[in-house]
Amino acid sequence: MTTRTQSVTAQPRERLYLQLYIATTLAIFVLMMLAGVVMRAVQGTYIHMSPDWFYQIMTLHGAGMVGIAGLAGVSIMWYFLRRYVSLTPGLFLANLILFIIGVVMILGAILLGKFGGGWTFLYPLPAKSMGLWSHNAAAAYVGGLLVIGIGFLLFYLDVARALLAKYGSLGRALGVNQLISGRIDTDHPPTVVASTMVLIVNTIGTLAGAVILVLTLVNLYYPTMQIDALWAKNLIYFFGHVFINATIYMAVIAVYELLPKYTGRPWKVTRPFLAAWSASTLMVIIVYPHHLLMDMVMPDWMLVLGQVISYLSGIPVLLVTTYGALVQIHHAKVRWDTPAKFLILAVFGWAAGVVPAIIDGTIVVNQVMHNTLWVPGHFHFYLLLGMLPMVLGFLFHISRHENETTKDRSVGMGFWIFMVSALLFIFMFLYSGVMSVPRRWAEHLAAWIPYDQWAALFGLVVLLSMLFFTVKLLARLTHIRLEA
């Protein structure tokens, strides 16, 4: 069955909703990056800040970056998926409204209520703050996460409805039937395959998160209702790992849809492509125990599974995407405009960022490295140089002038400055991890401070680059088009 792009009539309100998404995404990205630079500057003694405030900012940075990465991924997925299935604009807007409400609740919990329990809100910490924050502050934080999750679930339910209406089942949308029959439809949209995978894994993950969030709220006001701490931690990390992985699986749709426009070559669905996305659907769900390798009370089989799947989970989709991107540019007359540069950088950042993650997923390494800055190094790698360039490539593409032929040299220079400074910033995380600098410490020993100072300087350059891109993109907001 051939499923080419359907005829889409863009409504003015849809364009407005997308513009609101973009403005919100860019603003929060810059603010969260500022929070990250401030933390590195505090550790490097450039700025003095009490530990209480440091942990509040750390909580804000962690929750904010995960949330805004998810919102950016939704905007990319919605933009392209609506070309193949009929989505509901009102639910797209509802997700944004609930996201903003949740953000306001979280900001109030942190900045006014002084909640500093980390984005993971590990039980029983929210209820046992030793007087640093109130139960109401913890409830506002947990409730804010819950409200944001409801918004994402509404969006995914709409996606499920649209996919089922078009394809009859999620298996057909994912291409499983083609794998079984052996008849591959090369015109089956990669966007539909990726969106179906994200729908499955993130619906399950978000529902798991909702369970522990609701139980945490109940425990805050009815402490006699106890929660098993290990069970709670499993739910939290399952939810968190699936959600942050789903952000890049949504964003990679921009690579599939846009890179062919700069190479002149279609991105065809193949048997390995469909097999990779089907395998990743399962592996993303079961890989999360690699976050719990230091928890000796975990069942041994789960820890072994976490290590083995850590080696395998990133390979299928990453391999077909990386290979596909190389095929796209090999001996092709590529238009190396800004979006194409960002999209290729994104594929590199995703591929390279997986390497330190796989290293940390080895039990004997994890026991030494997991509580060091090596771990922030690996997830900054594939988010800062993987997911974020996908978003920037997407935004620079859809905001081009109708007849834009000249290249903005300042943006081109900004791209190189961003790439180099981000690599150096990430390297300081990884090198600090090798030198056993601990993560989540507000104050560092004198021997570690030089690493922090270099990281703060490189981070500042990354922040300024992103601020420059944000100003450029906001100025182009009126040029946003709904057709890729």
Beta carbons within 8 Å of 343's beta carbon, 6+ residues apart: 254, 255, 258, 259, 262, 325, 389, 390, 393
Angstrom distance (rounded) from CA 428 to CA 420: 13
Percent of the chain residues topping a pLDDT of 90: 75
Angstrom distance (rounded) from CA 294 to CA 42: 28
**Alpha-carbon separation of residue 474 from 16, 23, 27, 396 (angstroms):** 13, 7, 10, 10
Instruction: State the pLDDT at residue 403.
Output: 59
For residues 423-452, average pLDDT: 95
Residue 99, pLDDT > 90, answer yes
Instruction: State the pLDDT at residue 318.
Output: 79
Instruction: State the pLDDT at residue 25.
Output: 97
Angstrom distance (rounded) from CA 208 to CA 346: 29
For the packed helices 190-221 and 51-81, what is the interaxial angle rounded to 10 degrees? Answer: 140
Q: 1: pLDDT confidence band, cut at 50, 70 and 90?
A: very low
- Tens of pLDDT, residue by residue over 351-377, are 898 888 888 888 888 888 889 999 999
Instruction: State the pLDDT at residue 484.
Output: 47
- Tens of pLDDT, residue by residue over 282-339, are 999 998 888 888 888 999 899 888 888 888 877 787 788 888 888 889 888 888 999 9
Residue 35, pLDDT > 90, answer yes
C-alpha 56 chain-centroid distance: 21
User: 466 is written with which tokens?
Assistant: 């992103």
Residue 4, pLDDT > 60, answer no
Q: Are the C-beta atoms of 195 and 76 separated by less than 8 Å?
A: no
The residues facing 438 across adjacent strands are: 372
Q: Are the C-beta atoms of 391 and 25 separated by less than 8 Å?
A: yes
Instruction: State the pLDDT at residue 313.
Output: 76
Percent of the chain residues topping a pLDDT of 70: 96
For residue 416, the tally of other CB atoms under 10 A from its CB is: 11
For the packed helices 300-313 and 315-329, what is the interaxial angle rounded to 10 degrees? Answer: 10
Instruction: State the pLDDT at residue 303.
Output: 87
- Tens of pLDDT, residue by residue over 36-91, are 999 999 999 999 999 999 999 999 999 999 999 999 999 999 999 999 999 999 99
C-alpha 289 chain-centroid distance: 19
Helix, strand or coil for residue 438? Answer: strand
Angstrom distance (rounded) from CA 209 to CA 480: 34
Mean model confidence pLDDT for the chain:
92
For residues 201-224, average pLDDT: 96
Q: Are the C-beta atoms of 259 and 325 separated by less than 8 Å?
A: yes
Residue 13, pLDDT > 70, answer yes
The residues facing 372 across adjacent strands are: 438
Q: Are the C-beta atoms of 43 and 449 separated by less than 8 Å?
A: yes
Instruction: State the pLDDT at residue 290.
Output: 82
Instruction: State the pLDDT at residue 2.
Output: 47
Instruction: State the pLDDT at residue 134.
Output: 95
- Tens of pLDDT, residue by residue over 231-277, are 999 999 999 999 999 999 999 999 999 999 999 999 889 999 999 99
Residue 21, pLDDT > 80, answer yes
- Tens of pLDDT, residue by residue over 369-410, are 889 999 999 999 989 999 999 999 999 999 987 655 556 788
All domains of the chain in start order, with CATH: 12-400+407-479 (1.20.210.10)
